[in-house]
Structure 1
Amino acid sequence: MPNTLDPYAVLEVCSTATQAELKASYRRLVKQHHPDAGGSEERILALNAAWEQLGDPESRRAFDTSRRPAEVARDEARARGARNARASQVARQASGRASHADEDLATWLRKVYSPIDRLLGQVINPFAAELRALSADPYDDALMEAFCTYLEQSRSRLNKVKTLFQSIPTPASARGFGLSVYHCFSQVEDAVTEFERYTMGYVDSYLHDGREMIREARQRRKRLQDERRRLEI
């Protein structure tokens, strides 16, 4: 049992506790030690006496004035120690979360973004040369077959991109970056669809629209590469 001469000890609070904290602790302890809950009447009497002394602000001030300075200093030191301990714990937890978040981001960039960027490059970079070759004679079967092979390979690479993008959730710290990655490969996918339509009917608007989509996707990919460097700083 706490020292009954010290009402703060009886109520299990320090001398710097607020009136609300005193009241909450008193109620908790009364409920915990009530005879009906298996507690002792002696403890309840001690709690009531302590509450009488501290529950009224005037009575509490009188008691605090009568206490020896050393006791007050000791309680304040305990309170400071408790606050510092809580602050240190919060700081450690925040540091741990930040470290974990950094690891998640590094893993996502390495395992998801890097291979996606490489695959997108394998679709975007050859496009100009593939189109120039086809433009020599779009109605030449061999040239059209070569262009269709490029489109089939591109479609296969884009399917791999989708699988990679869904393999690991995008870290919270890179949500905007991840959304831009999604828009980039969606543009490339739409462009390939337009080119496929062109090969089936030679409608120039499909070729024009697909070419514009590839141009925009190339620019977005460059911005993503620049942003990736900033994320890694």
Structure 2
Amino acid sequence: MFDSPLSASAYEVLVVDPGVDNESLRKAYRLRLRQTHPDTGGDAAVFIQVQRAWELIGTPEARAAYDRGHGFGETAAPEWSGWRPPAARTDTRPRARSYGHPGGWRRERYLDLIREWAGRGVTLEDPYDPALVRGAPQHLRRLLADALAEEATARIVSDLGMGYTVWHDVAAVGRDADPDAKIDHIVLGPSGLYGLLSEDFGAPVRLRRGEFIGEGVPGAPITELLARMRVVARVAGVRFSGAIVVLPDEDVIDPIEELGKVRGVRVAVVSRSALSTVLRRGITGAADVGGNEVFDVRTRLQHTVRYA
């Protein structure tokens, strides 16, 4: 995913210097295709990245646009999230009921820490400038990457319609929980009650025994999500139908991968483009929530949810 603060650049994926001439760039692309093609023992996920890199810089026009760069903060905050005045909204389609500020917790921490990292007396005209972000420590880039991932998920779930209710940045504070622990999103609809984790590892990752593995994976994301869901379920007196991890489309091979039960909870890893489909139909084997139960669960959560 090349617009991620954590990802390699298109040039790095093709293993060339940014100043390389167009003919050398084309040769590098062809070489990388041969090296990464699954039929010759290459990694399918990397093969997809190579193709995406070529789309971004394969023509002089595309390359010039890519080289000009873009700010990681250019995408506006969702207007329905409460971050903009209602008058700014022009789309009148029915939306899911949404509460909380998606990505807000991590954006605030990023802005505080990037200024601290830059140093006192340094004026940051654009804290999202690509050159600044790429040069920042990984923990700062991860904060921004995850904030953008949460906002992307929030835009998707908002379009599910008025039959759904969504809570963002829900605190999972209990006796054994980290004070900063949170669930990125909780989604309630006819297909069930789901805890969602919006992730961006900056590159494809692998799964083993119900957990992500790889150099760019911090901690145990799925295990931590399930633990936080148990805290909220216990406090609110509700039962989750399942857990969903949302990844950028470029970082998954299969758009929907159901892992079965992990620690007693059904888990699916999905691409952003497949998220609506999964939330409308539910995870295989997960319990639906229908009739008056939807209102009961919504009321319980509304009365107990705290925000990070």
TM-score, structure 2 normalization:
0.21
Query: Which structure carries more relative contact order (alpha carbon 8 Å, separation 6+)?
Result: 2
The higher radius of gyration belongs to: 1
Tell me which protein shows more strand as a share of its residues. 2
